[in-house]
Amino acid sequence: MLPTMPEPPSRIAVTEARASGRWGGAALHEVVALFVEASEVVVRPESTGVEHVAPLAVLRGAAWRAGTLSLYRGDEELRLTGAPGLDRAWHGLSQRACTLPEVARALRALGMAHGAAAEDHARFVAPFLQGRRRLESGEPVDWLVAGFDAGTLAERTRGVLAAMAMQRYADRPPHRRALEARLHDACERLFASLDRVADAAGGVHAAADATRFEAWRAWAGTVQALFAETERAWREVARHLAHEDRATATRGAR
C-alpha cells in the first residue's frame, strides 16, 4: 500500500483589506484581497483584478501589530488593515515562510543503532533528537528559536562525553581525563556549529520586522548544518570509543 501523502496547506483568503504602500513595483492605496498559499502570497487589487504574486522565499519579513499586517519584499512595504482574518493570515504566513530546511537525512542516520555501540550512540544523539522534536512543535518563531537552545545542547553533549569516559575508566582518573579530552577534540567542530546556531538565534530575536524572515532563514541554515555535523562528530566519537574498548579488551586478555 502506498503511504498517505499529507494534505497541502489550505489557502488563507482575506477580502476587502485596505492596502497602503508598494507591492510588485506598483503603488497600492485601495481595497485588495490577500491570499496566503503554501509557497507564495498573492495581493489582488479590486480595481484591476491583477494578481501580484510573491514567493514566500523572497519575503524579507512581516509583522502583525495594532491591527495592521505589514509585508516586506525587497525595499517595498505593504500595510493591510480593516479586514477580518488578517491575524489568521499573519499566523499562516509566518508558519509557511519560516519552515525548516531538510534535516531528515542526517536525522535518519542519527536514529540508527550501530552494533555494540548502540547504547553510546543513543546517549550521544538523544539531546539532538529531543531538540528536533521541539522544532516540530508549531510554536511562534521566537519561541521555536528559544526552545532550540544551543547552549543547553552543548552542555548536555559535554556531559555525555564525560559519562562515556567515566563508564570506561571510573577508577583510573588519568585515563578518564585523557579519553574525555580526545572525545572533546572529536566534537570541536560540533561545538563550533552550536556556537553558530546560538549567534544566529540572537539575530532572530534582534531582527526588525522588515528582516525577520531573513534572520530566520539564516538561523535555519545553521540548524541544518548542525545536524549534518552531529552525524560526523558521532562517527569520530565512535571511532575513539571503539579503539579504547579494543585496547581494554586486549589488556584484559593478557
* Residue 228 belongs to a domain: yes
Which pLDDT score is estimated for 139?
78
Number of domains in the chain: 2
Q: Do both 82 and 190 map to the same domain?
A: no
Residue 122's H or E segment, with its range, is helix 118-135
State whether residue 140 is helix, strand or coil. Answer: coil
Which pLDDT score is estimated for 110?
60
Amino acid found at 47: S
Q: Terminus-to-terminus CA distance in the chain, angstroms?
A: 56
Range of the domain at 50: 12-97
Sign of CA dihedral 11, 12, 14, 19: negative
Q: Do both 128 and 166 map to the same domain?
A: yes
**Nearest in space to 69 (alpha carbons), one of 90, 48, 93:** 90
* CATH number assigned to the domain comprising residue 176: 1.20.120
* Residue 226 belongs to a domain: yes
**Nearest in space to 193 (alpha carbons), one of 143, 128, 239, 130:** 128
Q: Do both 32 and 88 map to the same domain?
A: yes
Q: List, for residues 151-196, the tens digit of each pLDDT value.
A: 999 999 999 999 999 999 999 999 999 999 999 999 999 999 999 9
Q: Do both 132 and 183 map to the same domain?
A: yes
Q: Are strands 59-65 and 52-55 parallel, antiparallel or unpaired?
A: unpaired
Sign of CA dihedral 130, 131, 137, 143: positive
Place 7 in a pLDDT band, splitting at 50, 70 and 90. Answer: very low
Place 5 in a pLDDT band, splitting at 50, 70 and 90. Answer: very low
Q: Residue 115 has what DSSP assignment?
A: G
Place 88 in a pLDDT band, splitting at 50, 70 and 90. Answer: very high
Average pLDDT score over the chain? 88
Q: Do both 186 and 65 map to the same domain?
A: no
Q: Do both 235 and 110 map to the same domain?
A: yes
Q: Do both 108 and 182 map to the same domain?
A: yes
Per the model's pLDDT, the better-predicted residue between 233 and 249 turns out to be 233
Q: What is the value of pTM for the model shown?
A: 0.85
Place 3 in a pLDDT band, splitting at 50, 70 and 90. Answer: very low
Distance CA 153, CA 166 (A): 20
Q: Do both 239 and 117 map to the same domain?
A: yes
Which pLDDT score is estimated for 251?
62
**Last residue of one domain, picked from the residues 55, 75, 97:** 97
User: What Cα–Cα distance (Å) separates residue 184 from each residue in 108, 154, 158, 161, 180?
Assistant: 24, 11, 7, 7, 6
* CATH number assigned to the domain comprising residue 71: 2.30.29.30
* Residue 26 belongs to a domain: yes
Q: List, for residues 130-156, the tens digit of each pLDDT value.
A: 888 888 777 788 888 988 999 999 999
Q: Do both 115 and 228 map to the same domain?
A: yes
State whether residue 19 is helix, strand or coil. Answer: strand
Q: Do both 210 and 235 map to the same domain?
A: yes
Q: Do both 54 and 124 map to the same domain?
A: no
**Nearest in space to 113 (alpha carbons), one of 125, 126, 122, 104:** 122
Amino acid found at 220: A
User: On the CB side of 61, how many CA atoms lie within 13 Å of its CA?
Assistant: 17
Which pLDDT score is estimated for 10?
85
Distance CA 237, CA 115 (A): 15
Q: Do both 114 and 240 map to the same domain?
A: yes
19-46 mean pLDDT: 95
